Amino acid sequence: MSKLLPAKGEPLIERVAWIVRVAQALDIPIFAILENISADVNMLPRLKALLPQGQMVFNKIVFGLYG
């Protein structure tokens, strides 16, 4: 999110939060996948709070179609 201007990032965060709430209401499984998780970079707390208790957050470390 740090790459986006606040005017673009905030609506995106709200849309992701809405999608998570809809998935929960419809009992659709949620997979949380982040890019380059580290001690300095993690999921936004307000989005992480929407995830079910104990939900794993996966680190996307492979890019491209061939692995």
Q: Distance between terminal CA atoms of the chain?
A: 25
* Per-residue pLDDT reduced to its tens digit, 2-42: 566 667 788 888 999 999 999 999 999 999 988 877 776 67
Asked whether 50 and 21 are in contact (CB, 8 A), the reply is yes
Q: Which pLDDT score, from 0 to 100, does residue 15 have? A: 94
Where along the chain do its domains lie? 6-60
- For 34, the token pair is 């982040």
Q: Determine the Cα–Cα distance for residues 27 and 38; give it in Å rounded to an integer.
A: 30
Question: What's the pTM value of the predicted model, to 2 decimals?
Answer: 0.73
User: How far apart, in Å, are the Cα atoms of 12 and each of 1, 17, 33, 50, 54?
Assistant: 9, 9, 16, 15, 24
